């Protein structure tokens, strides 16, 4: 519904026939309610099943892999932070820690940086924000609009900014055509990092993402990044219908005939035929208190 209303904002007035006026004043309230529901729906504790093939596929990726996610939940950061061999904090190889460092580099109290350089490498990049992110929206605060990712991947809670004492707000971009990137300006560092990562990529794995035609902003990002460097050699898709996903990618990006496309089909409730279980343990699960 929110998507339809956002699209109606830019539609021809003759098409709307006057019905939109009764909804226009309710958009901000709908956004607020959507954010509250998203936090409520996704904030329950998530149990990771180490025997799950999808968990192991993600866990088996190398520490030089860069991850781009459009999900609000904290599954990816929790999972990637728990792999054996993970080192944390500044200089570590943890994708979540690297994401936090990227956000902190982009905006700290009174300082704003825009050049990401190669800080995106090996990071988890969340283009739509996260239930584990928070930001200060007080205009007179030195950290106004700076985004902080909870170091323990914990969902958003009511807390106050340590600089000004005002209440934090969540940091999530709602699923609309125009999005609300302007309302959360510091999330732009994630989009810059994603662009740099795709420009440098020789292979891309689309996992659980169907490249919907409604997300034109993301399609533009992928298209311009791939066309700029022409480094891309291989694209694979894990999906119920991977051929459709790869077809959408070709239509959106047109990277050239030299790119290899690999469909990896999955069936509902079944382990994929192409999946090989790991020969060793991949994770060391920690409680939130132990991960502090």
Q: Tell me the backbone φ, ψ of residue 68, rounded to 5 degrees.
A: -115, 120
Q: What is the DSSP letter of 283?
A: B
Q: What's residue 19's pLDDT?
A: 61
> Can you say whether the dihedral through the CA atoms of 36, 39, 41, 44 is positive or negative?
negative
**Low-confidence residues of the chain: pLDDT under 70:** 1-27, 31, 44-47, 175-180, 255-257, 286-292
Q: What's residue 290's pLDDT?
A: 47
Spatial contact of 292 and 265, defined as CB atoms under 8 Å apart: no
For the beta carbon of residue 169, count every other beta carbon within 10 angstroms.
17
Distance (Å, whole) CA 239 – CA 212: 13
DSSP H or E segment with residue 76: helix 75-80
Distance (Å, whole) CA 268 – CA 239: 10
Token pair of 21 as six digits: 């006026």
**Alpha-carbon 237 to chain mean position:** 17
Q: What's residue 289's pLDDT?
A: 45
Q: What's residue 292's pLDDT?
A: 41
Q: What is the DSSP letter of 185?
A: G
Q: Which residues contact 194 (CB under 8 A, 6 or more apart)?
A: 68, 120, 125, 127, 221, 225
Q: What pTM was estimated for this model as a whole? A: 0.85
Q: What's the Rg (C-alpha) of the chain?
A: 20
């Amino acid at each position: 519904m929110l998507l339809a209303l956002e699209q109606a904002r830019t539609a021809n007035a003759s098409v709307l026939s006057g019905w939109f006026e009764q909804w226009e004043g309710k958009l901000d309230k709908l956004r607020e309610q959507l954010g509250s529901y998203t936090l409520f729906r996704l904030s329950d504790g998530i149990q990771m099943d180490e025997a799950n093939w999808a968990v192991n596929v993600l866990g088996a990726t190398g520490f030089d892999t860069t991850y781009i996610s459009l999900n609000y939940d904290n599954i990816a950061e929790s999972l990637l932070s728990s792999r054996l061999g993970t080192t944390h904090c500044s200089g570590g190889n943890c994708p979540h820690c690297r994401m936090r460092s990227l956000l902190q580099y982009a905006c700290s109290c009174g300082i704003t940086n825009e050049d990401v350089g190669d800080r995106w490498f090996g990071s988890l990049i969340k283009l739509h924000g996260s239930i584990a992110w928070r930001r200060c929206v007080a205009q007179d605060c030195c950290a106004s609009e700076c985004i902080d990712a909870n170091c323990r991947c914990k969902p958003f809670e009511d807390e106050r900014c340590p600089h000004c004492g005002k209440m934090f707000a969540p940091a999530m971009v709602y699923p609309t055509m125009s999005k609300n990137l302007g309302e959360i300006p510091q999330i732009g560092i994630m989009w810059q990092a994603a662009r740099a990562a795709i420009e440098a990529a020789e292979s891309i794995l689309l996992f659980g993402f169907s490249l919907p035609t409604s997300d034109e902003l993301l399609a533009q990002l992928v298209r311009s990044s791939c066309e700029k460097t022409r480094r891309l050699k291989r694209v694979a898709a894990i999906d119920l219908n991977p051929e459709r996903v790869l077809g959408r990618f070709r239509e959106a990006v047109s990277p050239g005939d030299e790119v290899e496309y690999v469909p990896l089909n999955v069936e509902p409730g079944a382990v994929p035929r192409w999946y090989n279980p790991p020969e060793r343990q991949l994770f060391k699960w920690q409680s939130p208190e132990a991960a502090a």
